[in-house]
């Protein structure tokens, strides 16, 4: 099993994330969207990843990640999320500042480093955005969660994760006082546009659009 280059790791991780959300087949265009490269570049890379056995590919038919590809991707995800925990918990980064840096740090090659970092952080199970951290074997715990927009008036729960980890979205959440662990109760729902009025931590009324609420994940009750 020859190892992956920096760019190959980024592609594989993108393919892994794309196959997670929904169907198994991942299209060339969706990969190029995700990574902001051109479809032609994706076609080239697909060939390399197929040769290394981390994906299967039939021409014009999209791409499917293999078992060994999932294993490799989970280790990259593990590193990414451990570094995010480090940045937030130890270096006082805000949760909207960690993604870019973790995107680089995840490629550092040193099993000892990751093992010790995990230990130093106290074997965290979730990253600052509520995403689960796989262990050395690739095992991770998925907490059941529901997008806020699917809750009904009167429903309540806690914010457990965010679907969108972009700086813009996280900064918005900071501004309105939403954070992982915050208590949420749905006060009112506008059927026309799917927007919600919610109560945060029993003290703050907030109006959120559907674009926002579908990116906030709530504990199942």
By CB under 5 A, name the binding residues for Mn ion.
10, 84, 103, 127, 129, 131
Q: How far apart, in whole angstroms, are the C-alpha atoms of residue 184 and residue 149? A: 12
7 is a contact residue toward DNA (CB under 7 A): yes
Q: How far is the CB of 5 from a second copy (least distance, A)?
A: 13
Instruction: Walk across the sheet containing 156-162 and list its strands.
Output: 145-147, 216-219, 156-162, 183-189, 196-200, 204-208
93 is a contact residue toward a second copy (CB under 8 A): yes
Given a second copy, Mn ion, DNA, none, residue 91, with its beta carbon under 5 to 8 Å by kind, binds a second copy
Pairing of strands 196-200, 55-57: unpaired
- Residue of 38, 90, 143, 204 interacting with a second copy (CB under 8 A): 90
Q: Which is nearer to DNA, 61 or 171 (CB)?
A: 61
Cβ atoms of 217 and 146 within 8 Å: the answer is yes
Q: How far is the CB of 17 from DNA (least distance, A)?
A: 16
40 is a contact residue toward DNA (CB under 7 A): yes
Q: How far is the CB of 28 from Mn ion (least distance, A)?
A: 20
Stretch that binds DNA, among 56-64, 97-105, 127-135, 197-205 (CB under 7 A): 56-64
Given Mn ion, DNA, a second copy, none, residue 118, with its beta carbon under 5 to 8 Å by kind, binds none
Task: List the interface residues with DNA, window 9-38 (CB under 7 A).
Answer: 10-11, 27-30, 35-38
Q: How far is the CB of 106 from Mn ion (least distance, A)?
A: 5
- Residue of 12, 55, 62, 131 interacting with DNA (CB under 7 A): 62
214: its two tokens: 């579908």
Cβ atoms of 197 and 206 within 8 Å: the answer is yes
The residue ranges that bind a second copy (CB under 8 A) are 87, 90-93, 97, 100-101, 104-105, 108-110, 112-113, 116-117, 119-120
């Amino acid at each position: 099993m020859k190892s992956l280059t920096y760019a190959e790791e980024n592609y594989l991780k993108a393919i892994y994330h794309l196959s997670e959300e929904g169907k198994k087949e991942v299209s060339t265009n969706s990969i190029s969207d995700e990574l902001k490269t051109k479809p032609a570049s994706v076609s080239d890379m697909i060939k390399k990843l197929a040769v290394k056995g981390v994906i299967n590919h039939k021409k014009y038919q999209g791409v499917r990640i293999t078992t060994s590809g999932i294993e490799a991707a989970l280790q990259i995800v593990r590193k990414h999320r451990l570094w995010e925990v480090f940045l937030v918990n130890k270096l006082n980064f805000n949760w909207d500042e960690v993604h870019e840096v973790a995107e680089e740090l995840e490629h550092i090659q040193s099993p000892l480093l990751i093992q010790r970092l995990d230990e130093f952080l106290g074997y965290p199970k979730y990253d600052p955005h509520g995403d689960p951290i796989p262990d050395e074997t690739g095992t991770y715990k998925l907490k059941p969660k529901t997008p806020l927009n699917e809750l009904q008036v009167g429903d309540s729960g806690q914010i457990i994760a965010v679907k969108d980890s972009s700086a813009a979205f996280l900064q918005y959440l900071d501004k309105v006082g939403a954070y992982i662990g915050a208590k949420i109760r749905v006060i009112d729902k506008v059927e026309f546009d799917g927007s919600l009025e919610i109560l945060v931590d029993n003290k703050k009324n907030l109006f959120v659009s559907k674009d926002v609420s579908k990116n906030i994940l709530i504990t199942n009750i």
